[in-house]
């Protein structure tokens, strides 16, 4: 599984308070079964904020970013930003060459339920903003850094139940995912030393979730 926590850990040092109203659910009946399309995961027309909690007013193209064998690649358009307002438009599918096992064999052995042959596309910093010439501007997150809660997008090759109890980054981590084919919203929360990923809304501070841009 591709999960990179270094930028989130850095962002957490800023200790920001965030405010945002989330309009999506955990992928209910209004989510297209094959994912993709305008509004398939997250609320539309939402304001992006800088790390200092001021509105971001820039514009650009949202791209899906992946690390492939040590090489950084931009693989698909995923929406746009106009004067700081995000319009996410996920591709309907992800090329097979960018799909990989959600868990390796060792992690799968700690799962009580895991679909055989499941492939995924998932990275916590896969949304990047570029200018019209493809130059990197920043990385986009949907979450509350101060409260250590986020909503991630994950693309799954098949449907199935993922139930796992792992030890990650020094924390017990529970995975409770009802994967659908295509894009899924994954809710992440860390509370009292316990981490969790779920397709159910497990957020304690949902009102503090918003889009934030991390400018390197």
- The pLDDT tens digits for 77-95 are 999 999 999 998 899 999 8
pTM of the model: 0.78
Q: Across the strands, what pairs with 183?
A: 155
Please tell me the predicted confidence (pLDDT) of residue 13: 26
Q: What is the DSSP code string of 141-194?
A: EEEETTTTEEEEEEEESS-EEEEEEEEETTEEEEEEEEE-SEEEEEEEEEETTE
The candidate with the shortest Cα–Cα distance to 175, out of 117, 160, 157, is: 160
Q: Which of 21-25, 51-55, 56-60, 148-152 has the lowest mean pLDDT?
A: 21-25
pLDDT band for position 131 (50/70/90)?
Answer: very high
């Amino acid at each position: 599984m591709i999960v990179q926590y270094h930028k989130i850990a850095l962002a957490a040092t800023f200790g920001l308070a965030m405010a945002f109203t989330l309009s999506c659910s955990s992928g209910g009946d209004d989510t297209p079964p094959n994912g993709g399309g305008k509004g398939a995961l997250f609320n539309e027309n939402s304001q992006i904020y800088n790390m200092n909690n001021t509105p971001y007013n820039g514009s650009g193209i949202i791209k899906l970013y992946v690390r492939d064998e040590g090489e950084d690649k931009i693989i698909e358009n995923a929406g746009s930003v106009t004067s700081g307002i995000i319009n996410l438009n996920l591709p309907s599918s992800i090329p097979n060459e960018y799909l990989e096992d959600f868990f390796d064999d060792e992690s799968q052995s700690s799962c009580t339920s895991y679909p055989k042959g499941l492939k995924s596309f998932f990275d916590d910093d896969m949304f990047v903003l570029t200018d019209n010439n493809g130059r990197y501007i920043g990385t986009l997150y949907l979450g509350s850094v101060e409260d250590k809660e986020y909503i991630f997008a994950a693309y799954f090759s098949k449907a199935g139940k993922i139930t796992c109890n792992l030890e990650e980054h020094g924390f017990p981590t529970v995975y409770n995912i009802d994967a659908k084919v295509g894009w899924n919203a994954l809710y992440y929360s860390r509370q009292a030393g316990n981490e969790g990923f779920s397709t159910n809304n497990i957020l304690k501070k949902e009102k503090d979730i918003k889009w934030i841009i991390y400018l390197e």
